[in-house]
Amino acid sequence: MHPPLSTQPQPEPENKYPDCLYMELEGIPVQPDSHEHLALWTTSTPRQQIDLHLTIHFNEQWESLDKGRVKFGLKGGELRLKLESSEIPHESRELVGSLELHTAKKKQDPKRSQAPKGIPRRASAIALSLNGNKPPAQVTAGTKQRSAQTELTPVTVCHVTQKVTEENPVWIFEEEMGEPVLKGGLNQVKLGTLNILTLPCRVEATFEVSKRDVCLTDAEGLWPPDISRNKRAVLDRLIIQRLLEPKLKPYLSRSELHYD
């Protein structure tokens, strides 16, 4: 029998531009008698295990510059985990394929607003597909009590792949449906199961972007309204490369979990 893991509060996530990207990592200890995780043990000695759950939300955000401001969003990026004294076996890594990103909207009071006759009300939930060629299946991860007051509306579709050859897991996010940027989010979706090798151990999650992942969607006060498309494209690239990208390095968001 393993001693219980420390219940001390985990560090607060660091999100440099929370309107553009908000990310949070949560660890849920696995019960020792959970048969679901027995096959993931890599040795004959059972290890303490943690299920890792990700909350991530994408949107656009304004950034002030010297003579104006720009609005930007993300076309993609990489979620990287750095593991210390722990491992996530390849077979326990999840979150892959086509993901419908959702935004939460407050539900209307049915007593005050009734749907037109003949149109049924439908409850929305996070949609997750493990195969990018199939329609996403409906799952309810992360809705919890909030679904009683809100409904989740799909906004964009994101395709996620894994770099399975690396010891430290990496998930690559890419906009899939031709939209300018990713919008919407996922709430408490499972990334995988962490095997604790020794205590203390640490998990660091960072979301990293390059200039090709950043897209300008609007601007104010930087150039005349009749600027040509070619000049606008050149200025967009310069602003991203020289002004925005340095602010997004070495990571855009960061979250840590510590276990002693």
Contact assessment for residue 175 and residue 160, using Cβ atoms and an 8 Å cutoff: no
User: Which segments within the chain are labelled E, that is strand?
Assistant: 14-15, 21-29, 49-58, 61-64, 69-74, 76-84, 86-87, 97-106, 127-128, 137-138, 150-162, 170-175, 184-196, 201-208, 214-220, 253-259
Rg of the chain in Å (alpha carbons): 21
Cα–Cα distances in Å, from 160 out to 79, 111, 130, 240? 10, 40, 10, 24
Q: Establish if 223 belongs to a structural domain.
A: no
Q: 228 by DSSP, 3-state: which?
A: coil
Q: Establish if 67 belongs to a structural domain.
A: no
Q: Establish if 116 belongs to a structural domain.
A: no
Rounded Cα distance between 204 and 192, Å, is 14
Per-residue pLDDT band for 178 (boundaries 50, 70, 90) equals confident
Residue 132 scores a pLDDT above 50: no
Q: Establish if 231 belongs to a structural domain.
A: no
- In which domain, by residue range, is 137 found? 14-62+75-106+123-210+251-259
For residue 110, what pLDDT is reported?
52
Q: Tell me, what CATH number does 35's domain have?
A: 2.60.40
106-113 long-range Cβ contacts below 8 angstroms, 24+ apart: 106/149, 106/150, 107/149, 107/150, 107/151
Q: Establish if 45 belongs to a structural domain.
A: yes
Per-residue pLDDT band for 207 (boundaries 50, 70, 90) equals very high
% of the chain surpassing 70 pLDDT: 72
Instruction: Give the total number of structural domains in the chain.
Output: 1
Q: Write the pLDDT tens digit of every residue in 34-44.
A: 555 445 444 44
Lowest mean pLDDT among 41-55, 87-101, 191-205: 41-55
Rounded Cα distance between 53 and 115, Å, is 35
Rounded to an integer, the average pLDDT of 68-82 is 96
Q: Establish if 218 belongs to a structural domain.
A: no
Q: Write the pLDDT tens digit of every residue in 93-130.
A: 999 999 999 986 655 555 544 544 443 433 333 333 33
Q: Establish if 90 belongs to a structural domain.
A: yes
Task: At 239, give phi and psi (nearest 5°).
Answer: -65, -45
Better-predicted residue by pLDDT, 41 or 229: 229
Q: Establish if 230 belongs to a structural domain.
A: no
Residue 260 scores a pLDDT above 90: no
For residue 4, what pLDDT is reported?
60
Q: 36 by DSSP, 3-state: which?
A: helix
**Residue written as token pair 């390059």:** 210
List helix spans (H) across the chain: 229-238
pTM over 0.85: no
